[in-house]
Structure 1
């Protein structure tokens, strides 16, 4: 629609310039100047309206793709992932409980029992076959724990947090 309007304004401007070849009077010059100013104002208004419509369309498009924010009683809630249930974390063993000791038979990697009791809820569910006692040279007593390789073979993993 605005293309037809602009074409009309341009045709009128050409017609006014063609008439200008005759000797001009002051009244005709004033009329031409006013017509030119009115034409420029109308074209400017058309361009302004077109830009406003584009902004409105962009605002509508932007708002439809925004992530929802839930509000209830003047409180807004952030969408955070839920923590995993305890049964999913049951097979992750704490990394700070992993020990490594040199024995007469070589290096042994194990999870210390007292550390697991402090930091792991399911110590009683660990396989009994993985339980071991390590005699560490330089210590008067044996250390109790669970063999890391055996636990890994039974599906347990080291939690790397």
Structure 2
């Protein structure tokens, strides 16, 4: 629970307890007033305990001076299927790239490939789309045997 919510409940409990004590007349002091007092005190103790538990949990999450280590990212295979490697001849030389359609069929983590490596080249047979192999290799991907 949030501390703002718990503090507002605590303030409301104190206000209600104060109102019930102020409205009670001294002539009726008896078991009814004692029950109200015990109920209010119990409520305050429970709310105070909830606040201290909440503060204790918050202090476990962050401690000043302690190095923060983020949770590791979910692992996925950086091994790309060798059957998707294509070599295309263009007007300025040869281009090695991983074919987009082939990767969609044979590699389940295509959505995690870096966008900066996406490319398209013009060949004699038309435009080919895929991922530059040099760029992928620089990002830690490799071709599986």
Bin the TM-score by the shorter chain. Answer: 0.3 to 0.5
Higher-Rg structure is 1
**Higher RCO (C-alpha 8 Å, min separation 6):** 2
What TM-score, normalized to structure 2? 0.48
